[in-house]
């Protein structure tokens, strides 16, 4: 399988046998800069080889033209060029890491495999199995904190329990963070990365995937792309708190996909926000803290993947009308703000946070569809899909999560549309069929006294599939019965 592999040199130091090669297994940390596992591997003193495995257990669940595969592949291409420039190389393999990683470690005589910790239940199980496989052959898997500032049990309540309410968690987080938490790892790579050992990066087609579906212009790739986005965001950061809720305005950072795949370091982002310290920066920092809040929740309560956090809502009897679900997925509900948001998701793999909250609430509380079906659809479509944030966001909107929106608070899609896209700029971008409607009618064509000549509701744009006021009452009754 590893045609170009070589046998790593083994040296004897002070009487004990020390392997001169270690492996750095990249997963959701596709960058060389400030990468904890890579820096620790380099610090160990031996030569380091980097590897990425396209995990067939994950791939079997994805479509072959999944946008994320293209994003990862393009990031790997960039990584390989960076590594080559530093005299290193990158192994890109495909298979089950439980078999692939110990086999590569054996082939390279690598004594240690360095990796950054992943908190998702699947990853935790996988890493345990990989570790076992390595230990059986006298090797070790070493895991490090990298994608968060605080992990696992580092922040607990005074009673020693995990936090389940955001505000006190956030306060403690802000109180505990020190400059040491945001200090970046120095990567002195040259000379320590093994030269010319890995085979060439297989093409997407060779890996069995379709060609890149990511619009690189809109989503800059790899750590270079992340830094471009960051530079662009930094001068907007002071206004973040004022602009972040308006989907037609460039108010947010668009860094979520980079945070998901680790093409940017969380320490760099937190460090910048703390150094700025202004209202916009701190508001943005709190969003990064939400990210960690959900990560620690998933770590402590992995059962949320399958069920409601709140036990009283585990068995909510959602009617789950498949036609409603399909209209929602396709952006054909007759509610422009919902339809524009869903089309943004389907076309770009991104959706603005305000809209994620509104469409999630609409699916659960207007269409009475189980939040897990919406969560699953987001998981398929989002370029930035992250189990912890997605599950947390859905359970928040559905009122089933910890510290969630109370069940009786139900977003009104019309007033959300009028408030956060007052001139219909975002609506017109994704619903060209409504472009000629005036700024009032565009939010609810079915209520307009007059529509443009030649525009026919029902033919050119759907009538609303449900009545918000009626569905609201049904949702309240459903939750009240629980
Ligand atoms: C139903 C629902 C599903 C979501 N699914 C995901 C998901 O799969 N992946 C994902 O990264 N985010 C998810 N979010 C959170 C949020 O919508 C996105 O992180 C944000 O829209 C990404 O855009 P940005 O990078 O420009 O964010 P910014 O506003 O610039 O925020 C900076 C970063 O903070 C983090 N962040 C922001 N808001 C949240 C939040 N509410 N919860 C957790 N982290 C947050 C993200 O990493 C984001 O990149 C979801 C929210 C909801 C309501």
Which strand (E) or helix (H) includes residue 129? Answer: helix 121-135
Q: How far apart are CA 378 and CA 228, in angstroms?
A: 26
Contact 478, 316 (CB under 8 A): yes
Q: Judge if 341 and 465 occupy the same domain.
A: yes
Statement: residue 26 has pLDDT above 90: yes
Q: Return the CATH number at 156.
A: 1.25.40.80
pLDDT of residue 213 exceeding 70, the answer is: no
Establish if 214 belongs to a structural domain.
no
On whether both 325 and 457 belong to a single domain, the answer is yes
Count of domains forming the chain:
3
pLDDT at 267 over 50: yes
Confidence (pLDDT) at 12: 28
Of the chain, the percentage scoring pLDDT greater than 90 comes to 82
Taking residues 253-264, what's their average pLDDT? 98
Mean pLDDT lowest among 83-92, 102-111, 224-233, 396-405 = 83-92
Ligand 1 centre to CA of 107 (Å) is: 40
pLDDT bracket for residue 16 (50, 70, 90):
very low
Write down the pLDDT at residue 388.
98
Q: What atom of ligand 1 comes closest to residue 359's alpha carbon?
A: 1
Residue 415: pLDDT above 80? yes
Name the residue at shortest CA distance from atom 52 of ligand 1: 393
Residue 189 confidence (pLDDT): 59
Q: How far is the CA of 247 from the centre of ligand 1 (A)?
A: 13
Which residue shows structure tokens 């009028």? 418
Boundary of a domain, candidates 241, 266, 300:
300
- Report whether 182 contacts 267 (CB < 8 A): yes
Per mean pLDDT, which of 14-23, 43-52, 355-364 is the most reliable?
355-364
- Whether 256 is in the pocket of ligand 1, judged by its Cβ within 6 Å, is yes
The residue from 120, 146, 172 where one domain ends is 146
The pLDDT value given to residue 11: 29
Q: If you measure from the C-alpha of residue 254 to the centroid of ligand 1, how many angstroms do you get, rounded to a whole number?
A: 9
The model's pTM? 0.94
* Cβ of 353 less than 6 Å from ligand 1: yes
Residue 142 and residue 153 share a domain: no
Domain membership of residue 415 (yes or no) is yes
CB 393 near ligand 1, within 6 Å: yes
Same domain, 324 and 473: yes
pLDDT at residue 18, as a whole number:
47
Do 266 and 405 fall within a single domain?
A: no
Does residue 411 have its Cβ closer than 6 Å to ligand 1? no
255 and 390 co-located in one domain: no
| Number of CB atoms found within 10 A of residue 442's CB | 24
User: Average pLDDT, stretch 156-177?
Assistant: 97
Residue identifier of the C-alpha nearest atom 51 of ligand 1: 393
Q: Is 252 in the pocket of ligand 1 (CB under 6 A)?
A: yes
Q: Is residue 294 part of a domain?
A: yes
d(CA 185, CA 202): 30
Range of the domain at 249: 147-183+223-300
Residue 195 — pLDDT band, cuts 50, 70, 90? low
Residue 462's pLDDT is: 98
Nearest CA to ligand 1 atom 49: 256
* Pocket lining: 455 vs ligand 1, CB cutoff 6 Å: no
State which ligand 1 atom lies nearest to the alpha carbon of 384: 9
For residue 255, how far is its CA from the centre of ligand 1 (angstroms)? Answer: 9
State the closest ligand 1 atom to the C-alpha of 257, by its place in the atom list counted from 1: 11
Asked if residue 4 belongs to a domain, the reply is: no
263 lines ligand 1 (CB under 6 A): no
User: How sure is the predictor about 17, in pLDDT bands with cuts at 50, 70 and 90?
Assistant: very low
Q: Are residues 139 and 155 in the same domain?
A: no
The phi, psi pair for 142, rounded to 5°, reads -110, 120
> What is the C-alpha separation between 185 and 267, in angstroms, rounded?
9
66 with 157, same domain?
Answer: no
Distance CA 51, CA 197 (A): 11
Decide: 281 in ligand 1 pocket, CB within 6 A: no
CATH number at residue 414: 1.10.579.10
CA 432/CA 429 separation, integer angstroms:
6
Expressed in angstroms and rounded, the spacing between residue 174 Cα and the centre of ligand 1 is 19
The per-residue b/e assignment along 404-416, b for 16 or more CB within 10 angstroms, e otherwise, is bbebeebbbbbeb
Q: Are residues 454 and 341 in the same domain?
A: yes
Give Cα 316 to chain centroid, integer Å.
27
- Using a 6 Å cutoff on CB, does residue 290 contact ligand 1? yes
For residue 340, being part of any structural domain is answered with yes
CA of 408 to the centre of ligand 1 (A): 24
Helices 222-234 & 266-276 angle (0-180, nearest 10) = 10
Backbone CA torsion sign across 120, 121, 127, 131: positive
The helix (H) or strand (E) run that includes residue 91 is: strand 90-95
DSSP E strands in 261-322: the ranges are: none
Cβ 30 vs Cβ 262: under 8 Å: yes
Residue 388, domain member (yes or no) = yes
User: 411 and 315, same structural domain?
Assistant: yes
**Per-residue pLDDT for 346 more than 50?**
yes
Q: Where are the alpha helices (DSSP H) in 331-467?
A: 336-348, 353-361, 371-381, 387-397, 413-420, 425-430
Strand 16-19 to strand 10-13: parallel, antiparallel, or no bridges (unpaired)? antiparallel
Q: Is 409 left (phi over 0), alpha (psi -120 to 50) or beta?
A: beta
Place of tokens 């620690």: 296
For 440, residues 6+ apart whose C-beta sits below 8 A from its C-beta are: 448
3-state secondary structure of 93: strand
* CATH classification of the domain holding 70: 3.40.50.620
**How many residues comprise the chain?**
482
Q: In the listed set 300, 321, 349, which residue is the last one of a domain according to the structure?
A: 300
Rg from Cα positions in the chain: 24
CA of 291 to the centre of ligand 1 (A): 7
């Amino acid at each position: 399988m590893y045609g170009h592999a070589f046998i790593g040199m083994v040296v004897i130091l002070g009487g004990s046998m020390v392997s001169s090669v270690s492996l750095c297994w990249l997963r959701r940390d596709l960058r060389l800069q400030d990468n904890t596992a890579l820096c620790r591997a380099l610090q160990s003193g031996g030569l380091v080889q980097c590897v990425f495995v396209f995990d067939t257990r994950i791939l079997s669940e994805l479509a072959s033209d999944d946008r994320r595969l293209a994003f990862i592949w393009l990031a790997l291409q960039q990584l390989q060029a960076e590594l080559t420039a530093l005299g290193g190389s990158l192994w890109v393999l495909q298979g089950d890491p439980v078999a692939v990683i110990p086999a590569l470690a054996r082939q390279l005589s690598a004594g240690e495999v360095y990796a950054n910790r992943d908190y998702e239940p699947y990853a935790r199980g996988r890493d345990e199995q990989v570790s076992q496989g390595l230990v059986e052959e006298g090797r070790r898997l070493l895991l490090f904190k990298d994608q968060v500032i605080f992990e696992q049990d580092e922040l607990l309540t005074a009673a020693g329990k995990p936090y389940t309410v955001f505000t006190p968690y956030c306060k403690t987080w802000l109180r505990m963070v020190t400059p040491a938490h945001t200090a970046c790892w120095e990567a002195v790579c040259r000379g320590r990365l093994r030269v010319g050992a890995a085979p060439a990066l297989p093409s997407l087609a060779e890996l069995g995937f379709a060609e890149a579906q990511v619009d690189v212009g809109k989503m800059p790739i790899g750590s270079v792309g992340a830094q471009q986005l960051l530079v662009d965001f930094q001068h907007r950061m002071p206004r973040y708190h004022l602009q972040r809720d308006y989907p037609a305005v460039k108010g947010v950072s668009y860094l979520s996909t980079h945070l998901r795949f680790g093409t940017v370091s969380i320490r760099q982002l937190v460090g910048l926000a703390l150094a700025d310290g202004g209202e916009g920066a701190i508001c943005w920092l709190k969003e990064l803290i939400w990210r960690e809040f959900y990560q620690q929740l998933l770590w402590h309560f992995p059962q949320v993947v399958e069920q409601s956090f709140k036990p009283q809502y585990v068995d909510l009897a959602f009617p789950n009308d498949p036609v409603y679900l399909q209209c929602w997925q396709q952006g054909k509900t007759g509610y422009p703000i919902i339809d524009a948001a869903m089309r943004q998701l389907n076309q770009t793999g991104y959706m603005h946070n305000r809209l994620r909250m509104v469409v999630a609430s609409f699916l659960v509380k207007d269409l009475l569809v189980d939040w897990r079906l919406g969560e699953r659809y987001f998981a398929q479509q989002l370029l930035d899909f992250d189990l912890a944030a997605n599950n947390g966001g859905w359970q928040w909107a559905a009122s089933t999560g910890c510290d969630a929106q109370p069940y009786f608070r139900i977003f009104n899609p019309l007033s959300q549309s009028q408030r956060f896209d007052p001139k219909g700029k975002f609506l017109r971008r994704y619903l060209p069929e409504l472009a000629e409607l005036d700024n009032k009618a565009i939010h609810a064509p079915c209520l307009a006294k007059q529509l443009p000549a030649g525009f026919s509701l029902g033919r050119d744009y759907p009538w609303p599939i449900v009545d918000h006021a009626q569905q609201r009452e049904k949702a309240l009754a459903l939750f009240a019965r629980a």
